[in-house]
Chain A
Amino acid sequence: MSEESQSGMQCLDFDALLSEAIDGTLSGAELEQFEAHRKACASCGPMFAEAQHGMKLLRGLAEVEPPANFVHNVLTATIGRAATTVQAARPRESWWERLRGGIRPALGPVLQPKFAMSFAMAFFSISLVLNLAGVKVANLRHLDLSPNAIMRGAYEAQARVVKYYENIRFVYEIESRVQELKRATTPEESGPPAEKEKDRKDRSDKPDRKYQNYSREREAVTMARLFDSPPLADQVFARRNS
C-alpha cells in the first residue's frame, strides 16, 4: 500500500487527502495527482469508492425527533419548571401533537398499562351493573338536562314527597280515630274476666305484678288533645286545598 504509483503520490498521501477529496475541496495539481493515483492503485481506488459510499449512506440518515416531553423533562430537571415562553426555535407542530404533548406530562402516571387495566375493569363492572338494573345508555339521550327541566323535576319530586307525607298522615289520623271510637264503644266488662283467667293460671308464690296499661294512658292524653282541636280531616283538607 505504501508503494509509490506512477502518479508520484504514495498511498499514505492519498489517505491523508481522502477526506478533502470526498468533500470536494481538492483542486489543481493535488487533485490531478489524487485522481491519477485513485485510478492506478488497486487498494486506494476501491477504498475511495467505499468511503464515498459510506458518507452518502450516513448523510442519508434522517434526523430523529426527540420525545414530545423531552424539553419539559430537561427544564424540570434543571430549573424545576416547564417551558413557559420560548417557542420560536421549536418546529411547527399540529394541534393534535401540541395537545398530546401538553396532556402527556399531566396524565403521565395515568397513562400506564395497569391503570388502563383497572379502568377497563371498572368500566366493565359498571356496564354489567347498569345492564342488570335495566338501564340502557341509549335512553339517556332522551333526558332533558336543561337547568329549567332539572328545576322542574326537582319541584315535582318535592311535591310528590309532600303529598305522600300528607296522605300517610291523613291515613294514620283516620286509623287512630277509628281505634279510639272502637275502644270508646267497647264495654268495660271485657277486661276483668281476662284478668281472672290469668290469675287462675298464675298460682305461683311470686309477688303480685303490677300490670300497667301504658297504651291506654297515652291514648287518654291523645284523645284529650284531639277533642280540643277542630277535626283533623278538616285541617288536612283545608291544607291540601290551600
Chain B
Amino acid sequence: MDDNQVVASLVRRCAAGDAVAWEEIVQRFNRRIYNICYRFTGSQHDAEDLAQEVFIKIYRTLKSYDTDKGAFMTWVATLTRNLLVDHFRKSKQDRVTDSMDEPITAEQDSISMAERLEDVGPSPDARLQARETQEMVHKALQKLSPELREAVILRDLQDMDYREIALALKVPEGTVKSRINRGRTELARLLSRTYRQVS
C-alpha cells in the first residue's frame, strides 16, 4: 500500500469518526503545514495560529474531500493557501514587489554571491554563514508578492509538481511556471542587492 493509499484510508476512517486516524493525519502533516505557514507569514506565532486554523478547517471539511480528484496534500495545500491569502488580506501586509521590468545590468552579478552563499562547509564559520544565509533568504521571501511567494514555497520547499500547484492555486500550469521563475529570479536579485548593501 503506497503513501497515497494509506492517507486515503486514514481520511476514510477519520470521516467515519475514528479519532486515532485523525491523530495520525495530524502527526503526518503538521510539519508540512506549519512550514508552509511559517515561510509564507515569516512569523512563528502567526504560523502556529494559521496552521492550527488549517487543521480545524481540514477536520471540519474532511468529508468533502474526494480522493478521486487529487492527492490529499494538494487538497490540504489549497485549504492552507486560501487561509494564508485571507490572513494576508486581513493583515494588509501588502509587500512591495520589486519590478521585474527593470533592465538587468552587468552590476547585478548575483553569481558571485551564489558562489559565496553555497560555500557551506563543516567549520563553525561556514555553519554561521549558512545560518545567516538562511535568515536572509527567509527575509527576502517575505518581500515577494503573495502570488510569487506561494508558488515558490509549494515548488521549492514543499516539492509539489506543477500540476498539483496549479490545482492548489487554481491557475493554469503555465502561470505556475511563470510565477515560479519570477519568484526565484526576484529572490536572487533581492539577495544580491542586500548583499551589496551589507558589504
Interface residues of A (CB under 8 A from B): 15-16, 18-19, 22, 43, 46-47, 49-67, 70-71, 73-75, 77-79, 81, 83-90
Contacts and interface: CB of A to CB of B under 8 A. Distances in A.
28 contacts: A18-B177, A47-B185, A49-B111, A50-B104, A53-B114, A54-B184, A54-B185, A54-B186, A54-B187, A54-B188, A55-B184, A57-B114, A58-B141, A58-B187, A59-B156, A60-B117, A60-B118, A60-B130, A60-B133, A62-B134, A64-B44, A66-B48, A67-B48, A71-B26, A74-B51, A75-B26, A79-B19, A89-B27
Contacts of A65: 31
Contacts of B52: 70, 73-74, 77
A105 B162 CA distance: 40
B184 A51 contact: yes
B34 interface: yes
Given A15-B181, A61-B157, A77-B56, A51 B188 contact: yes
B146 interface: no
Interface in B103-130: 104, 108, 110-111, 113-114, 117-118, 120, 130
A86 B31 contact: no
Interface centre among B35, B108, B133 (most CB of A within 10 A): B35
Interface in B143-171: 152, 156-157, 162
A19 B160 CA distance: 13
A63 to B, nearest CB: 6
A85 B20 contact: yes
Contacts of B152: 54, 58
Interface centre among B52, B55, B133, B185 (most CB of A within 10 A): B185
Contacts of B35: 63-64
A49 B184 CA distance: 10
B149 to A, nearest CB: 10
A83 B39 CA distance: 26
Contacts, number: 142
Given A77-B56, A90-B27, A19 B34 contact: no
B174 interface: yes
A159 to B, nearest CB: 61
B12 interface: no
Contact of B30 (A22, A62, A74, A79): A74
Contact of A43 (B48, B104, B183, B191): B104
Given A66-B48, A66-B51, A75-B26, A16 B174 contact: yes
A50 B184 contact: yes
A57 B24 contact: no
A46 B23 contact: no
A87 B20 CA distance: 11
Given A50-B188, A58-B187, A19 B108 contact: no
Nearest to B23: A86
A46 B187 contact: no
B72 interface: no
Nearest to A45: B104
B28 A89 contact: yes
Given A61-B138, A75-B26, A79-B19, A53 B31 contact: no
B157 A19 contact: no
Nearest to A20: B177
B65 interface: no
Interface string B39-60: 1000010001001100110010
Nearest to A42: B104
B118 A58 contact: no
Question: 7 closest Cβ contacts across the A-B interface?
Answer: A54-B184, A58-B156, A54-B188, A66-B34, A50-B188, A89-B27, A53-B114
